A and B are shown apart, each in its own frame.
Chain A
């Protein structure tokens, strides 16, 4: 079983749809992240949860809504997306020992989102 699992792997949605991405980590980590990866661009950090509390929201549009019900699960709820939101959405986890991020992230394989 892989350490970080994301579903679905591929998603096509219209601009008026509502969908959710799911992430589950089996590593016992206490921090989870959502990243957006677009072709030839740096990874963009969207949300960070540490000990199930959101600690960062890097000015992400409200059409993206995260949810972290426990330390093993993370969701990204999608609503009224735009075509420019098409990208690979990566979930990651890490063990935050000191209150600061250790930096060694364990990534899932991503959810490839296409918005029509």
Chain B
């Protein structure tokens, strides 16, 4: 079966760096996505990786290793507003999005 694994919850300190990992086993691969979802709000697109390596976008970076079935989302200079759930999703060979259950990130002052 197809599976996406990510930690259920993480805690970090304001101003610090946090890395949220995502591992996947899917039927084929057509890209990996990260979405952010604040409580009670819509998920919003953060990043897309289809080739191995690091994609940087401001304070957020996303890394992909296709051979390892692994990605991470790196958040730098954490701010209180970064408290949210982070959803990892992989597009399989049928162009279906397979979703992880999300990682709830709690930022403490």
Contact A103–B101 (Cβ < 8 Å): no
Q: Which of A14-22, A41-49, A60-68, A74-82 contacts B (4 or more CB under 8 A)?
A: A41-49
Other-chain contact of B97, A41, A101, A108 (Cβ < 8 Å): A101
A103 to B96: give the CA distance in the assembly, Å.
Answer: 8
For residue A105, CB closer than 8 A to chain B, the reply is yes
Number of interface residues of A (CB under 8 A): 17
**B interface bracket (residues with beta carbon within 8 Å of A):** 20 to 34
Interface pair A103/B31, CB less than 8 Å apart: yes
Decide: B45 and A104 in contact? CB cutoff 8 A: yes
Residues of B within 8 A of A104 (CB): 33, 45, 48
Binding site for A on B (CB under 8 A): 4, 8, 30-31, 33, 35, 40-45, 48, 87, 89, 91, 95-102
28 pairs, A vs B, C-beta closer than 8 Å: A4-B42, A42-B98, A42-B99, A42-B100, A43-B89, A43-B99, A100-B30, A100-B95, A101-B95, A101-B97, A103-B30, A103-B33, A103-B48, A103-B91, A103-B95, A104-B33, A104-B45, A104-B48, A105-B35, A105-B43, A105-B45, A105-B97, A106-B45, A108-B42, A109-B40, A109-B41, A109-B42, A110-B42
